[in-house]
Amino acid sequence: MEDYAKYDVLSGFCLYRHLYELSVKYGTQLYNYQARIRMGKGKIELLKKGSRDLENNSKQILSLTKRIDILKALLKDLKEKLENDILKADADVFGKPEISDITDEEMSLVNYILKKLREDQVQMADYALKSAGASIVEAWTSESYKNDKAKLHWHEIGFLHYEMPPDIILQPDVHPGKCWAFPGSTGHTVIKLARKIIPRAVTMEHISEKISPSGSTASAPKDFSVYGLKDEREGEEIFLGQFVYEKKGITVQTFQLQNAVSEYILYIKLKILTNWGHSKYTCLYRFRVHGKPEQGT
């Protein structure tokens, strides 16, 4: 009986030891498997992050490549124009200049790019355009800023101030310094439109800091309001909206009028309420008015 008891104890001990070894073995395998899973998740996250970074970098590279292609096309176009000018002016003296090897396909691409670059961004008729017949009502417009440095000189004696007239804001030629300036941060002007319209939107344009000679656009208008007038001299002002020109935004900003009107208007009043911090003057580069024209005019 004792032998059987000893045998049972020994068998139980062996079984327990075997189970312990199996648990250690499979426990280790399970731990290693879980570790591999955790490592795999980490690697997956790293791969995802790397993929996102690669995608962003690819977009930036693609954007830069497109810009480089545009610049190359513009340079080719400029080179051809210069060569043509030299050919016409100095052919007898210098002979025929060397023409660059521009293919028809490249020239088509250049012409297409130039056409796109020259297209108007707003894509709406401007009824405040001077060349179309619009004008400034001087009597209802703020005085221009008098800059002591902006003088004509004769034998070092300044004798005449000169500044850009208010109607410069009705012209599409927007370049640094080619703006109408008035003293301080508040001013106004009345524009006689090229024809009567039901106004729907206005567009304000200013230069960017990147091309500003001073590196600042603090003289840009900020808060401004727009009114409609049936007559330049009398009648109530019809409030059309108040807006904010964001100097950090795109240079050409269009604003839909907040107060819709159903009657045709010939005069628009623009009031500049604040600028972006310049203490001496505010500069207006271009202002446009859009809407539905009166039929038969």
Highest mean pLDDT, choosing among 112-121, 158-167, 178-187:
178-187
Query: Mean of the pLDDT values across residues 37-44?
Result: 61
Contact between 151 and 258 (Cβ < 8 Å):
no
Tell me the pLDDT of the chain averaged across its residues. Answer: 77
Confidence band of 160 (pLDDT split at 50, 70, 90): very low
Confidence band of 28 (pLDDT split at 50, 70, 90): low
Quick check: 3 pLDDT over 60? no
Question: Does any domain span residue 145?
Answer: yes
Question: Does any domain span residue 160?
Answer: yes
Closest CA to 239 of 222, 263, 261, 262: 261
Question: Does any domain span residue 27?
Answer: no
Question: Does any domain span residue 136?
Answer: yes
User: How far is Cα 253 from Cα 119, in angstroms, rounded to an integer?
Assistant: 16
Question: Does any domain span residue 38?
Answer: no
Q: Which of 122-131, 203-212, 227-236, 286-295 has the lowest mean pLDDT?
A: 227-236
Q: How many domains does the chain have?
A: 1
Q: Which of 102-111, 120-129, 233-242, 277-286 has the lowest mean pLDDT?
A: 102-111
Query: Mean of the pLDDT values across residues 204-219?
Result: 92
Q: Taking the model in full, what pTM does it have?
A: 0.60
**Residues constituting the chain:** 297
Question: Does any domain span residue 42?
Answer: no
Phi, psi dihedral angles at 218 (to 5 degrees):
-65, -20
Phi, psi dihedral angles at 133 (to 5 degrees):
120, -5
Identify the domain containing residue 204 by its residue range: 130-293
User: How far is Cα 124 from Cα 291, in angstroms, rounded to an integer?
Assistant: 8
Give strand ranges (E) for the chain. Answer: 135-137, 151-154, 157-161, 180-183, 187-205, 223-229, 238-244, 252-256, 265-272, 281-284, 286-293
Question: Does any domain span residue 26?
Answer: no
Question: Does any domain span residue 232?
Answer: yes
Top pLDDT among 59 and 179 is at 179
Query: Mean of the pLDDT values across residues 133-149?
Result: 89
Quick check: 10 pLDDT over 50? no
User: How far is Cα 166 from Cα 128, in angstroms, rounded to an integer?
Assistant: 13
CATH code of residue 175: 2.60.120.260
